[in-house]
């Protein structure tokens, strides 16, 4: 239940709370479903513990950029979903919960909190652009992979990119690395 989801003290349950907070009804009684989501959303916003755990989760990702700006590769590829998209997505979700933003897409969430007094506008703008670049890199790689008969995934081979695209990708990943600065100290929030 929604109340259990919000009230649960176990970290694993709290880590799943963000799912409760952004559900969208797709079948059945939309008004009733929306009431449940509203209840979960308000409970999540008001729970310091929930926000702290979600802040920590959002800041914990290992980005796909290593020492001296080198790509972190495994078998010649890097997972831009895990090391790029997910940190941005998680940050946008936490900010949306904290500021009461009901937008569903990552860029819309980020842009909706952009003008909040405590949010760094430049960092938000850069994350929105980084999100666009990362998605573009994944989609371009998927098109190349499909042509080669490779199942599409979020694994990207930077050597398959033009040098300018690799430079953009490095820039985007550096913005992801700045997520922790945008999130700040989760203990002092809320």
pLDDT of residue 42: 57
| Rounded CA separation 86/17 (Å) | 16
Alpha helices in 22-153 (DSSP H): 30-46, 48-59, 86-99, 106-113, 121-147
- Residue 174 is predicted with a pLDDT of 92
Record the tokens describing residue 15, joined without a space.
């880590």
In angstroms, rounded to a whole number, what is the distance separating the alpha carbons of residues 150 and 76? 14
pLDDT at 73: 93
Phi, psi at 102, each rounded to 5°: -100, 10
How far is 50 from 71, CA to CA, in rounded Å?
A: 33
Residue 91's alpha-carbon distances to 17, 57, 98, 183, in angstroms, are 14, 9, 10, 7
Query: Which pLDDT belongs to residue 26?
Result: 57
**The pLDDT of residue 178:** 77
| Per-position pLDDT tens, the chain of length 190 | 444 544 445 555 554 555 555 555 555 665 665 555 555 555 555 556 666 666 667 667 777 788 788 899 999 999 999 999 999 998 898 888 888 888 889 999 999 999 888 888 999 999 999 999 999 999 999 999 999 999 999 999 999 999 999 999 999 999 988 776 676 655 454 4
CB-CB contact of 77 with 160 (8 Å): no
Q: Return the pLDDT at 176.
A: 87
Report the distance separating Cα 156 and Cα 168, nearest Å.
14
Which residues on adjacent β-strands are paired with residue 79?
155
Q: Which helix (H) or strand (E) holds 172?
A: helix 163-177
């Amino acid at each position: 239940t929604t109340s259990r989801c919000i009230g649960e003290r176990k970290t694993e349950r709290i880590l799943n709370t963000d799912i409760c907070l952004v559900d969208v009804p797709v079948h059945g009684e939309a008004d009733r479903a929306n009431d449940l989501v509203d209840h979960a959303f308000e409970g999540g916003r008001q729970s310091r513990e929930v926000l702290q755990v979600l802040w920590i989760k959002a800041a914990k990702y290992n980005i796909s950029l290593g020492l001296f700006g080198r790509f972190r590769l495994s078998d010649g590829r890097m997972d831009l979903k895990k090391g790029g998209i997910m940190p941005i997505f998680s940050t946008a979700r936490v900010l949306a919960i904290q500021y009461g933003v009901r937008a569903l897409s990552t860029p819309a969430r980020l842009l909706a909190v952009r003008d909040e007094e405590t949010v760094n506008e430049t960092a938000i703008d850069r994350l929105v652009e980084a999100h666009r670049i990362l998605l573009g890199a994944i989609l371009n790689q998927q098109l190349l992979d499909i042509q080669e008969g490779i199942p599409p995934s979020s694994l990207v081979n930077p050597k398959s990119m033009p040098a300018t695209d690799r430079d953009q990708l490095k820039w985007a990943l550096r913005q992801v690395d700045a997520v922790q600065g945008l999130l700040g100290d989760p203990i002092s929030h809320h």
